[in-house]
Amino acid sequence: MRTIAISNYKGGVGKTTTAVNLASIFAASGKRVLLIDLDPQASATDYYGLYELGKAEGRTSVELLYGSAGVRELAFETEAENLSVIPSVIELIDQNELLLREQRLKFALDDAADDYDLAIIDCSPVLKRLAFNAYLAAAEGGIVVIPVKLDSTVMRGTALTVEATKSITEALRLPRPRFKILRTFVPGRMTKAERTGAEVLDRFFPNAQFSSVVHASTKVSEGSWEWMPVASFEPGSRPAKDYAALAEEVLHELG
């Protein structure tokens, strides 16, 4: 199993959208996919209508991190073939404080390594310790995808995220995950401010950006109102094609 962590220390940059679209595309192509919602805001969970059920049955990423149950007991199958989901709940916030073991998620995924081809983790923008768990899970043979929106805040969020992948792995003397930046919300025509943002990114991260980008499109939010990734909501649309290209590129990166 290979792990793809989707993280940025900034909200609203397309993390969840990227997580659910990649999950949908990979599963449709026959890969066995486990999507883990590691954000207490539980947006990815809502795509599969699993918030109440996960909470009622005690089958969420809280139990996964706490180590009280394994992936096999916790994952829900979804309507999409080959796609299982471990939902999140708001109580996950407390885990960020309580959790002392940064490798809990990695160990839980190691135990399920034969059951899935890909694990996709949708991270919270603010809960660092949860993100550390995701980075360590992705460290060996995985990748951290950092979606970014080109605006004046782009460098702060990106730099903090990249720095975090480095600091936790150095602290524990573990291998550092690869990371790659994904440009999201790319407009048909860039404004001057967006061009400046792109230049700054190119200067600091010339070799760590996906060549695929995700264009801004109302189709993405139209799909989200139906809780459908745009890849299945409107497969012929521009953002759906963008995500299909990204999925190819991610697979290539994973080798």
**Which CA distances in Å does 66 have to 136, 171, 176, 192?**
16, 22, 24, 47
State the nearest-atom distance from the C-beta of 172 to Mg ion, in Å: 26
- Beta 76-77 vs 83-86: how paired, if at all? antiparallel
Give yes or no for residue 228 binding ligand ADP (CB under 6 A).
no
Q: What residues between 10 and 49 interact with ligand ADP by CB under 6 A? A: 11-17, 43
- 36's torsion region: left (phi>0), alpha (psi -120 to 50) or beta? beta
> If we measure between CA atoms, which residue out of 133, 131, 135 comes closest to residue 143?
135
- Give the nearest residue (CB) to Mg ion: 16
State the nearest-atom distance from the C-beta of 124 to Mg ion, in Å: 8
Instruction: Give percent helix, percent strand, percent coil of the chain, each to the nearest 5.
Output: 50, 15, 35
State the nearest-atom distance from the C-beta of 140 to ligand ADP, in Å: 25
CA distance 136 to 107: 10
Stretch touching ligand ADP by CB under 6 A, among 90-98, 134-142, 189-197, 213-221? 213-221
Residues 108-118 as b or e (16 or more Cβ within 10 Å = b): bbeebeebbbb
Q: What residues between 25 and 44 interact with Mg ion by CB under 5 A? A: 43
- Residues contacting Mg ion: total by CB under 5 A: 3
Binding mask 179-198 for ligand ADP (x = CB under 6 A): -----xx-------------
Residues that bind Mg ion (CB under 5 A): 15-16, 43
Interacting residues toward ligand ADP by CB under 6 A = 11-17, 43, 184-185, 214, 216-217, 220-221, 224, 239
